[in-house]
């Protein structure tokens, strides 16, 4: 029972890392695209590629919180008490990002768009770093069990947290660069394909270096997770690396759809590897999943919600994506704004 809840938790974390991460990564490239003039074309591709409900991807984060606080309340209390600072920063980043998302498309002046765009981009880097630091704190056993607070600063300003935080920023930037390369290919924009492809390669190399450094750091600083990564989680690590490299191969020449999947698999497998590596601890070496678990009634309720979510949300999402691809209904030759008086509402709906 508690295992099922842990699996659900890990699924929610992974989905947030994949889908939310791709959103954050797009913000990273928005930030680094340069002045409005120079960055205009990359930003257009970014604008075009971002999913329709993207800021709603935070729902995965809410699911993570909900599963934690219902199924593992004691661990949740410890995490929130100890990691008050990075989680507060992340919350602020999410507010700023979400607000910019809500407003950016609704304002028309370039100056206003730049303000919202800039806020959006900076918080896109801040939030994944903070979540990475939080993951590092948990992995290195710096969050005590029993709903107690650990050190408010060294819990997240430490080698593991820093390296995982940087790695998180690199991974989301990488995934997003791959998705953007593919999107530029779909728009038949060769120049932008090259633009994002180069960036994907560069950030992948950086991510690789950070990951190597991370392995060394984990070996001395988070031994339990290091041991897990090199044994039971090793297949996932290998899968992540292979998928990451595979995405490149699929980007050569004309970008292929498989590149997207490969990039998502690469980041998803990495997050899952962390989960498997610290199994069966929720807070490594102090609190196991089964010790932390809530009563059976709670866990079954949460599992029911998980199943319902899969049944209801997946088809709705699929429908949305088909709409996304669908072309506009024909205009019936009526120019916008000059409406003949006898026009039917149906025509009006199509034309307006």
Which of the residues 36 through 75 are near other proteins (CB under 8 A)? Answer: 40, 44-45, 47-50, 52-53, 55-56, 58-59, 61-63, 65-67, 69-71, 73-74
DSSP H helical ranges for the chain: 2-15, 21-31, 40-49, 58-71, 73-82, 84-104, 110-139, 159-186, 190-221, 223-230, 234-251, 257-277, 289-292, 296-325, 345-351
- Judged by CB, which is closer to other proteins: 84, or 248? 84
At closest approach, how far in Å is the CB of 17 from other proteins? 16
From the list 207-215, 235-243, 245-253, 315-323, the region that binds other proteins by CB under 8 A is: 315-323
Compare residues 333 and 349 and give the one whose CB is closer to other proteins. Answer: 349
One symbol per residue from 82 to 101: x for binding other proteins (CB under 8 A), - otherwise; what is it? --xx-xx-xxx-xxx-xx-x
DSSP letter for 146, please: S
154 is an interface residue for other proteins by CB under 8 A: yes
Q: Is 300 in the site for other proteins (CB under 8 A)?
A: yes
The one among 80, 215, 242, 261 contacting other proteins by CB under 8 A: 80
Per-residue three-class SS string for 48-71: HHCCCCHHHHHHHHHHHHHHHHHH
CA 45, CA 191: separation in Å to the nearest integer? 11
- Phi then psi for 156, rounded to 5 degrees? -125, -5
Which of 35, 191, 253, 329 contacts other proteins by CB under 8 A? 329
d(CA 234, CA 228): 8
Total residues at interface with other proteins (CB under 8 A): 95
CB of 15 to other proteins, least distance (A): 11
Name the minimum Å distance from CB 74 to other proteins.
5
Q: Is 186 in the site for other proteins (CB under 8 A)?
A: no
State how far the Cα of 69 lies from the Cα of 98, in Å rounded to an integer: 24
Q: How far apart are CA 282 and CA 279, in angstroms?
A: 7
Residues in the chain: 352
- Minimum Å distance from CB 241 to other proteins? 32
CB-based burial, 238-250: b 16+ in 10 Å, e otherwise: ebbeebbebbbeb
* Using rule CB under 8 A, residue 81 touches other proteins: yes
The residue range among 122-130, 218-226, 233-241, 329-337 that interacts with other proteins, by the rule CB under 8 A, is: 329-337
Stretch that binds other proteins, among 103-111, 127-135, 169-177, 266-274 (CB under 8 A): 103-111
């Amino acid at each position: 029972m508690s295992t099922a809840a842990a699996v659900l938790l890990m699924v929610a974390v992974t989905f947030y890392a994949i889908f939310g991460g791709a959103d954050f990564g797009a913000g990273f490239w928005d930030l680094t695209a340069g002045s409005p003039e120079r960055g205009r074309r990359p930003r257009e591709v970014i604008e075009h590629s971002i999913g329709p409900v993207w800021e709603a991807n935070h729902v995965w984060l809410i699911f993570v919180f909900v599963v934690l606080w219902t199924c593992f309340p004691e661990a949740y209390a410890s995490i929130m008490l100890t990691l008050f600072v990075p989680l507060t920063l992340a919350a602020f980043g999410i507010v700023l990002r979400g607000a910019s998302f809500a407003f950016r498309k609704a304002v028309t002046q370039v100056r206003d768009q730049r303000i919202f765009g800039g806020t959006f981009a900076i918080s896109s880097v801040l939030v994944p770093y903070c979540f990475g630091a939080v993951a590092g704190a948990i992995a290195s056993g710096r969050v005590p069990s029993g709903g107690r607070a650990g050190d408010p600063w060294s819990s997240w300003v430490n080698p593991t947290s820093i390296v995982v935080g940087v790695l998180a920023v690199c991974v989301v930037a990488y995934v997003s660069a791959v998705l953007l390369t593919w999107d530029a290919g779909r728009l038949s924009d060769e120049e932008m394909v090259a633009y994002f492809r180069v960036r994907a390669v560069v950030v992948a190399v950086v991510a690789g270096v950070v990951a190597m450094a991370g392995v060394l750091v984990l070996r001395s600083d988070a031994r339990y997770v290091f041991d897990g990564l090199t044994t039971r989680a090793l297949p996932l690590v290998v899968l992540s690396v292979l998928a990451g490299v595979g995405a490149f191969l699929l980007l050569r020449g004309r970008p292929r759809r498989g590149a997207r999947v490969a990039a998502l698999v690469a980041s998803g497998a990495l997050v899952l590897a962390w989960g498997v590596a610290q199994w069966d601890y929720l807070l490594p070496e102090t609190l196991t999943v089964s010790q932390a678990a809530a009563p059976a009634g709670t866990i079954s309720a949460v599992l029911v919600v998980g199943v319902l979510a899969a049944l209801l949300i997946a088809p709705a999402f699929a429908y949305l994506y088909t709409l996304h691809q669908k072309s506009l209904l024909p205009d019936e030759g009526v120019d916008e704004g000059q409406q003949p008086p006898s026009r039917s509402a149906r025509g009006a709906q199509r034309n307006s």
